[in-house]
Amino acid sequence: MLLVLGPFAGAIVAVRYAPAATVTIAGQTVHVKPVLGRNTTELAGGAIVRPEHAHLLGEDIGVDIGVDWNDVIPQAKSTRQYLTQLWDDPQPAMAAIKSTATRHIITWAAIGFGVVLFIEVGDALVVRWRRRRLAAYPDEVAEAIHGHMWPERVVVVGSAVVLLVALEATAVGVVAHREHETVVGSPVFAGTGLAGTEVDGLVREVVPFLSMIEPHSAFYDTVSDNLDKALGEDPDLRVKPDDVLFVEAEDFEDVNGMARIVGRAAQLTKADFITYTGDLTFAGKPLESYIIDTVNYYSGGIPVEFAPGLHDTDAITQAAASRGWTVADGRTHDIGNVSLLTLADPRISTVGDFGTGSVYRDPDVTGAEFLEAAEKEACETKPDLILLHDHVLGRPLAETGCAKVAVIDGRSYTLVGRQEVQARDGSTAIEYTVGSTGGHTTTQPNPGNIQSPATFEIFDLDPADGSLSVVVVTVKPDGSVSLSGRTQVTAPDSRRYPSSDTSANSTSH
């Protein structure tokens, strides 16, 4: 019985005493330690206690979450208030913690089970080997050896029994442990996403930064419901079954709620990928990278093609790459049946360090040199689409006529849409300039509820003939959502796609 129960006891003890796992949330390293027998989730050594552990791992498995307050809490009160609104939706963070905690339990349980089982099997093989060795001797010799080794066998077997009993007693203690606490919710959280949470000590003064004091997510709950209604029962907006559908967004500048809506739209429409043409954040600080997790969580992990804008610093691009986004490197690449040239804006805004203006992303590459390299790459590779942030830089790239379908850009508060551009060879090229998905009308950021209409696009591309159409999604400050009629951005082009059968093309949905 001891031998059979040993591996299971090893699994339980390993989970109990294993070191904490880590996960990156909003650019910070967070330690996650599942605790068997606990009915709460505790943050920072119990400074914040939440009862909803059942949303994470199930009954009687609480979680200890550790963070370094010095890294997380900005000194400036205005910055804390700003980021409070950015973190108004805890679901992506909760999902990351749940995934990390679950993986931690499975991994360490397997290690504990496997180690004990390995030792037991190894011991059994040694015993078998010894018995076979003894069987090879004459009976009187084998009996003499057996008697001579009796004290050693008693010590070895006794020690093994003691260790197994100790291991299984420890496991019983872990399983029997009950750390059930009645949580007394702090009144300040009434009606917010942290209702029922207990906060102790000095953390009371800084917890508004980490929480949802103003329940912005209620607004985006309404927007999400209205998006579902607007898309209807058949949200797949593909014109033809083999078309490529992608969602294009731009200029969140920390409007985390709209990141949720864009991710949701991509998931509902079963988009092949998402394109994001810059200004994901405002200050470009690691804390703001939480918005990346929001997109991934609500889209279900749909691939994202990211062309960084002026506000997207190296900290943000690195965070995006670590989350699985494809960050622009100035090279044409394929995603499915579509070739894309994504370009990072050559400048970085200094607003994050309380400066003005911008500096070059690469000090050795000026704006003119950036355009020269981009034009060379575009005209050598002839991508279907060119994506970048600034329409001022997008226009000369469109004028090259090297994009087979269109140039998609932004940095325009107002949606401009389709524009015909005369290419240098006399042909007509297409530039499409999107508006602000964060609903911005000035450079002043607002990470909460949108104050002006916010727009993003759902594009349909036929990779066989290059025809591109678009449906524009508009979210208004009252929470309503509307879809435009389908607009044809480019027609089938037999010159650029000579193998296409343009007569079979359909633009109806």
Mean pLDDT, the chain cut into blocks of 10 residues (509 residues total): 92 94 86 88 76 66 78 58 62 86 94 95 90 87 83 86 92 88 76 71 56 61 95 92 96 92 97 96 87 95 96 94 95 95 93 74 92 96 97 96 96 94 93 96 82 96 95 96 96 81 42
Task: Count Cβ neighbours within 10 Å for each residue of 14-31 and write b for 16 or more, e otherwise.
Answer: bbbebebbebbbbbeebe
Q: CB neighbours (10 Å) of residue 386?
A: 28
pLDDT, residue 109, reads 95
Q: Which residue has the tokens 């066989």?
A: 464
pLDDT, residue 74, reads 57
232-502: CATH topology is Purple Acid Phosphatase; chain A, domain 2 (3.60.21)
pLDDT, residue 278, reads 92
Cα-based angle 209, 103, 167 (whole degrees, multiple of 5): 115
Contact 2, 168 (CB under 8 A): yes
Task: Please name the amino acid found at residue 280.
Answer: L
What separation in angstroms does the CA of 140 have from each of 105, 135, 136? 53, 11, 11
Q: Which of 414, 419, 415, 413 is nearest to 432 (CA)?
A: 419
Q: What contacts 24+ positions apart, CB below 8 Å, involve 425-429? A: 425/401, 427/401, 429/398, 429/399, 429/400, 429/401, 429/403
pLDDT, residue 202, reads 58
* 3-class DSSP string for 133-153: HHHCCCHHHHHHHHHHCHHHH
- Between CA 306 and CA 321 the distance in angstroms is 9
Q: CB neighbours (10 Å) of residue 76?
A: 9
pLDDT, residue 72, reads 57
Contact 278, 250 (CB under 8 A): yes
Joined tokens for residue 410: 């932004």
Residue ranges of domains in the chain? 2-176, 232-502
> What global pTM score does this model have?
0.83
pLDDT, residue 280, reads 93
Q: Which of 25, 23, 53 is nearest to 210 (CA)?
A: 25
- Between CA 112 and CA 505 the distance in angstroms is 60
Contact 170, 181 (CB under 8 A): no
Contact 23, 101 (CB under 8 A): no
pLDDT, residue 28, reads 80
Contact 10, 163 (CB under 8 A): no
- Between CA 197 and CA 184 the distance in angstroms is 7
Contact 307, 410 (CB under 8 A): no
pLDDT, residue 446, reads 77
pLDDT, residue 56, reads 63
Q: Hey, is 498 helix, strand or coil?
A: coil
Contact 430, 242 (CB under 8 A): no
pLDDT, residue 323, reads 92
CA 117 to chain centre: 37
Q: 481 has which bridge partners?
A: 475
pLDDT, residue 55, reads 57
Q: Which of 405, 461, 397 is nearest to 430 (CA)?
A: 405
- Between CA 249 and CA 278 the distance in angstroms is 8
Q: How many helices (H) and strands (E) does the chain have?
A: 13, 22
Cβ neighbourhood burial of 478 (10 Å; 0-12, 13-18, 19+): exposed
